[in-house]
Structure 1
C-alpha cells in the first residue's frame, strides 16, 4: 500500500483521493461536505445564518467541491506531476458523476453530494469542469502577460462559482451570469491583491506584466518586495479596477432572489473591505497582509442582518 500523507482535513495517497470507494450514504456524503465547509476560514462566511435552510446543504456541497479541488492543487504534499495526477483523477470522477444526467457512480463522497445538488437544480457539468481547469492552470502558470489573460483565468477560477450560486437560487439566465462575473472576478482580484506577498513566496504573481510595465516596474524590482512610489501607484490602479467590477456587479442585486441578493451584498462588501484595507496600508502589501478586521466583520454582519430582514419581508409578500 502506498504511503499516505496527512494534510489539513484530508488524507491522500498518490493518484488516489481521500474518501474513495467508501460507499457513503447520501446523508454521510453531505455531512462530509458540511464538515469541510465548516472547517475553513474565509474572509466571509459562504454559508451563514441568512442562507435559506432548504439551500444551505447545497451551498455546502458546492463549497466542499471548490475547497477540496483547491486543496488538491495548493496543499497536497506532492510535486507538480503528483498534483496534476490528483486533479485529473478528480476531473475523471466528476465526469463519472455527471453521466446520464448526474446518475453516474462517482467514487468520492463530495461528488455524490454534488450529484444531488446538480440534479435538483439542473446544473450542467461546465462550471464544475472549469473550476478544475483553473486548479490545473495554477500548477504551471505563474505569470500573466495582460489583463485579458488574467480575466480569462478568472473566467475559470472565479466566475463559475457565481454561476453555481445562481442555479441553486433558481436563476438560469445568461445575462445574469454575465453580470455575476463582475462580482466574482472582482472578488478574485481582491484576494490576489491581498495575497501578493504570500503568492510571491511561491514565485507566483497575478499582476499583469503590462500593468507592471505601465508603472515602470520590472521583475528585479518586484523581487525586492518594497512598496516604492511606483508600486503604490500600480497597486492603486489594480485596486480601482477591482472596485469598478464590484460596482458593476451590484446591478445584479435587485434582479435575483432576495436571499441571494443578501449573499451577493456580503460577498461584495467583504471584497470591498479587503480593498479598503489595502488602501489604508497605502498599498503596501509586502510588510503586512491586509485583513478584514473583526470590527469590519461585525459591521458587515449587521448590514446583512438588516438586508436579510428586508429580504424576508419581500419573500413573504411574493
Structure 2
C-alpha cells in the first residue's frame, strides 16, 4: 500500500497525463487540494473498473459505495481516496450523487462494452464524465442550472475526445466506445480496431466523433463567460484542453493506432489564452447567473 506521500505523487503523475490541467498552479492551494481530491476519487474508481482483476471489480466498487455512505453518515471512511474527500465534501457542501454516478459508470463498464448510437454513448457520458464537471462547479461554489447544462456539454465532449484517443487501449480491454452505427457506416469491422495501423475507415469513424465532440465543446464553452476569477481560469483550462486535443487529432489525421495523440503543452497554453480572451456569452442573462 502506498504511503500518503506516495499516493499523492502517483496521483499527480496521473493528472499530468490528462489532456487538461487538473489542478493548475495558477489556482490557490485550497482549490488545488479540493480538485485533486475529486480527481483522486474519480481516478481511483476508474482504475478499479479498468485495472483490477475482472472478478474483483464489482466487489471493490461496492466497497467504494459503502465508504461514501460512511463519509456522508459522518463516519471515518476506510479507503484513502474517500478519506481525502472529507474536507472537500464538508467545505464545499458537495452532494453525494455525482460520486455515486461515477461508481455506476464503472459498474456499467463491466457489463456494457459497446454502444449502438451516439445518443447511447451520451447516456454513458452522463454517468462517467458529466458528474466531474458538476463537482468542479461545487468546488468553486458556482452551481446553477444553466451552468450545469453547459458543463455537461463540455464534459461529454472531453470524454468523447478521450475515447477517440484510446481506441486501441479500450479495445484491448474488451470495450468499444465508437458507436456501432458509425463503425458500420464507415465500413469498419472489429479487425480494423485490432490492427497496428489506422485504416481509412477507422480514421473516418474517429473523425465523426471528433466533429461531434467539437460541436458539444463549442456549445458548452459559453460557461466560461459566466464565471469570474479562479473558477473562470480553471474551467477555461478544461475547455482549452479539449480544443488542443481536437487539434492534435486533426493534425495526426486521426491516426489513433499508429501513435499516441496528445496535445502539446504550447498548444494547450495557446488555446487556454484564447478561451480566456475571446469567450463571450451570446445570452446576457448568463453573465448575471447567481450561484445556487
- Whether 1:271 and 2:242 are equivalent positions in the alignment is yes
When normalised by structure 1's length, the TM-score is: 0.79
Asked whether the equivalents of residues 97 and 105 of structure 1 are also in contact (C-alpha less than 8 Å), the reply is yes
Q: 1:71 to 1:221 in 2, by over 3 A?
A: closer
Secondary structure of 1:38's match?
A: helix
| 1:157 Cα deviation from its structure 2 partner | 0.5
Name the counterpart of 2:109: 138
- Cα deviations by residue, 1:3-31 (Å, 9 ceiling, x for unpaired): xxxxxxxx3xxxxxx88xxxxxxxx7xx7
- Taking only aligned residues, the RMSD between alpha carbons, in angstroms, comes to 2.4
Question: Unaligned regions of 5+ residues in structure 1, if any?
Answer: 1-10, 12-17, 20-27, 308-318
- Whether 1:178 and 2:154 are equivalent positions in the alignment is no
Asked whether the equivalents of residues 97 and 115 of structure 1 are also in contact (C-alpha less than 8 Å), the reply is yes
Name the counterpart of 1:91: 65
- Whether 1:51 and 2:34 are equivalent positions in the alignment is no
Question: Unaligned regions of 5+ residues in structure 2, if any?
Answer: 278-292
Distance 1:133 1:306 in 2: 34
Distance 1:187 1:284 in 2: 18
Matches within 5 A, 1:216-235: 216-224=187-195, 226-235=197-206
Q: Give the structure with higher Rg (CA).
A: 1
Matches within 5 A, 1:97-136: 97-99=71-73, 103-136=74-107
- Whether 1:67 and 2:38 are equivalent positions in the alignment is no
Larger relative contact order (CA 8 Å, sep ≥ 6): 2
Distance 1:33 1:226 in 2: 36
Asked whether the equivalents of residues 236 and 276 of structure 2 are also in contact (C-alpha less than 8 Å), the reply is no
Distance 1:169 1:179 in 2: 16
Matches within 5 A, 1:244-263: 244-263=215-234
| 1:219 Cα deviation from its structure 2 partner | 3.0
Asked whether the equivalents of residues 33 and 64 of structure 1 are also in contact (C-alpha less than 8 Å), the reply is no
